[in-house]
Amino acid sequence: MKLLSKKALCNSHGQDSSYFIGWEEYEKNPYDEIRNPKGIIQMGLAENQLSFDLLESWLTQNPDAAAFKRNGDSIVRELALFQDYHGLPGFKDALVQFMSEIRGNKVSFDSNKLVLTAGATSATETLMFCLADPGDAFLLPTPYYPGFDRDLKWRTGAEIVPIQCTSSNGFRITESALEEAYKEAERWNFRVKGVLVTNRSNPLGTTLTKQELQLLLNFVSTKQIHLISDEIYSGTVFNSPKFVSVMEVLIENNYMYTQVWDRVHIVYSLSKDLGLPGFRVGAIYSNDDMVVSAATKMSSFGLISSQTQYLLSALLSDKKFTKNYVSENQKRLKKRHEMLVRGLRQIGIRCLESNAGLFCWVDMRHLLSSNTFYGEMELWKKIVYEVGLNISPGSSCHCTEPGWFRACFANMSEDTLNIAIQRLKTFVDSRDNKDDIQNQQQSNKKKSFSKWVFRLSFNERQRER
């Protein structure tokens, strides 16, 4: 043990979070319609499987791309040999055009300002290495994605200070919450280097408003710090209001020739919008040349394979396909979202009103045995082990209010989601029945006690006569 590094021995990865423990329990006993119908249904994985048939259809219709051919000739040798870490120009051009398309072509992106990384996890960590030193802090609005505790902190030594958001206003970011988080960081003697937001929020499923983005830009401008906008879910918005990129607000408010322009950075990925997490395609977009240069050098530690870049450059360059895919995928997400929300509502469970993403922020506060995080964990364990559903408790997302849970709906079939809802209904009904029985028993005890008191009083009066 003494021969290992401090990093190997430290326990700051976050793997002991209930978010990851739920995954581990699912992997021990995964649900399968035929082989294991009583297993745990995975509702803790934000994966988009609803439109994979569209991708498979494109691959079938474009065999040259899938076979790594150009004009009928194999280019396997070309792709198999060394490529530098700047990435294939054709893929970077196709990716920035797709990013513009996702944002309604209201903004355009320069491929020279794009850095390719092996997924959004790598992109976020790389930005931390570029912007913060060990002990520096980033402010994050709560609730936030549990993986950020790993992505931002574990290897970089950076710190996270929460911006406390509450259900009273739908967990929206306020100026007072931003200022309080900044003061809290100062109390801990952290140097604040920036704010990181996920737009569209994970786990809330809501998009940031223009007002919130303007508030954030004013804040980072005043404090002279960075803003990272994680926009990996930008193509999953299925209801109004529409997605607004921070880049759009920057341009509308004439930040192009100010220092703020260079201190705003975007993280993007194809994991959610195209449902390709296994392809490990992420990106950093920054207007700061020094950040781009440093991040490009760091990207050599996590490259995207040339084969992946070639295949996806062909797919993303097919504008007819990408336009149809984005539109159809949003329709399917909306239908599936409505299915889960309606099913939960019928059993007395409400969700935060949302307009995007692959999950719902579910309010189960009324099911807690006590309004505490102990009560939340008690309920979560019952849902995992007794009901057989892996959902993510709000405490793993650093929510300040016990009783909220994230439930994913896009990583399973419609039939499986129906089974999940039915399981939860059975659980809630059984709790209601127990409560009814307990209430009846208490009522009977009160009635018996009242009769006893009446008889005692009557006998006393008889003796007095």
Which are the catalytic amino acids? 145, 230, 232, 272
CB of 423 closer than 8 Å to CB of 387: yes
The Cα–Cα gap between 439 and 449 comes to 15
The Cα–Cα gap between 94 and 317 comes to 6
Residue with tokens 């408003």, as numbered in its chain = 209
Helix pair 373-382, 18-28: axis angle to 10 deg? 10
CB of 205 closer than 8 Å to CB of 361: yes
Number of Cβ within 10 Å of residue 210's Cβ equals 14
Which runs of E-coded beta strand occur in 296-403? Answer: 350-351, 359-363, 389-390, 392-393
Number of Cβ within 10 Å of residue 273's Cβ equals 23
Q: Which residues contact 177 (CB under 8 A, 6 or more apart)?
A: 141, 163, 164, 165
Q: Which residues contact 146 (CB under 8 A, 6 or more apart)?
A: 14, 17, 19, 20, 392, 396, 397, 398
**CA-to-CA dists, residue 137 to 96, 153, 157, angstroms:** 30, 9, 9
The Cα–Cα gap between 168 and 219 comes to 22
Cα-to-chain-centroid distance, residue 320: 29
- By 3-state DSSP, what share of the chain in percent is helix, strand and coil, each rounded to 5? 50, 15, 35
The Cα–Cα gap between 345 and 27 comes to 29
356: three-class secondary structure by DSSP? strand
Q: Which of 162, 154, 228 is nearest to 190 (CA)?
A: 162
Residue with tokens 């109390």, as numbered in its chain = 187
Cis peptide, bond prior to residue 143, ω within 30 of zero = yes
Q: Which of 403, 393, 396, 398 is nearest to 370 (CA)?
A: 403
Q: Which residues contact 342 (CB under 8 A, 6 or more apart)?
A: none
